[in-house]
Amino acid sequence: MRRTDPRGAARGTLWALCLAGTALAACNRPGGADVGRAIDSVNVIDESNLSEIMLTVADPNEAVGYFARASGENPGRIDLRRGLAKSLVRAGKSAEGARVWAEVVAMPGATDDDRVDRADALIRAGDWDGAKAVLAAIPPTHETFHRYRLEAMVADSAKDWKRADSFYETAAGLTNRPAGVLNNWGFSKLSRNDFAGAEKLFIEALTYDPTLFTAKNNLVMARGAQGKYDLPVVEMTQTERAQLLHTAALAAIKKGNVATGKALLAEAIETHPQHFDAAVRALRALEGG
Name the pTM for this structure. Answer: 0.78
pLDDT in tens, 21-43: 433 343 444 445 555 454 444 45
| Tens-digit pLDDT profile for residues 109-144 | 999 999 999 999 999 999 999 999 999 999 999 999
Answer whether 243's CB lies under 8 Å from 211's CB. no
User: How many residues appear in the chain?
Assistant: 289
Question: What is the rounded CA–CA span in Å between residue 205 and residue 187?
Answer: 11
The 10s digit of each residue's pLDDT in 194-215 is 999 999 999 999 999 999 999 9
Locate the domains of the chain by residue range.
51-142
Q: Quickly count: other Cβ atoms within 10 Å of residue 108's Cβ.
A: 6
Euclidean distance between CA atoms 125 and 100, whole angstroms: 13
Measured CA to CA in angstroms, residue 127 lies from 24, 121, 123, 124, 204 at distances of 53, 9, 5, 8, 30
- Cβ–Cβ under 8 Å, residues 120 and 89: yes
What are the backbone angles phi and psi of residue 100, rounded to the nearest 5°? -70, -35
Q: How far, rounded to the nearest angstrom, does the alpha carbon of residue 77 sit from its chain's CA centroid?
A: 24
Compute the distance between CA of residue 162 and CA of residue 124 in angstroms, rounded to an integer.
23
Q: Does domain 51-142 have CATH number 1.25.40.10?
A: yes
